[in-house]
Amino acid sequence: MMRMLRVTVRVENQDEALRFYTDKLGFEKRADMPMGPKQRWITVSPKDDHGVEMVLQPSDWFDGEERRQHAALVGKDPTLVFQVDDCRATYDKLHQQGVKFSLPPTDRGYGIEADGQDLYGNTLVFLQLPGGH
């Protein structure tokens, strides 16, 4: 058996990323614990999804060239796709919460999709599969 457990999202600041994902997207914090003298392990996920967790990984976990390379990737990956029951309602709610969108709810054939961004520019896709609302 194999299942995805976590996905890492590179962030500039764990606290501001945690506020974005919990306050704006309504995610829950799943873990928040020290990892040595200068690191914190923080994970979040949608409230009703106890499967995959997102690790909020800051550049300050690293030193030297590795830190520079990590910082250069903040906001450039990954694209996170979330299945939603009602794309238009999700868009309206998140737009009111201040989430920026590059694509409003659009029928794509494979479903209704709205593309937003987190505070660093990572793409957040909200997808209503066919047969939903």
Cα within 13 Å of Cα(29), Cβ side: 16
Determine the topology of domain 80-128 in CATH. Answer: 3.30.720
Structure tokens at 17: 């990323």
Where helices occur in the chain by DSSP H, the ranges are 14-19, 64-73, 87-96
CA distance 117 to 48: 21
CATH 1.10.599.10 for the 6-73 domain, yes or no: no
CA distance 72 to 50: 30
Q: How do beta strands 123-128 and 112-117 pair?
A: antiparallel
Q: Could you read off the pLDDT tens digit of each residue along the chain, which spans 133 residues?
A: 768 899 999 999 999 999 999 999 999 999 999 998 889 999 999 998 888 999 999 999 999 999 999 999 999 988 999 999 999 999 999 999 999 999 999 999 999 999 999 999 999 999 999 985 5
Look up the pTM and report it. Answer: 0.88
Every domain range in the chain assigned CATH 3.10.180.10: 6-73
CATH 3.30.720.110 intervals, the chain: 80-128
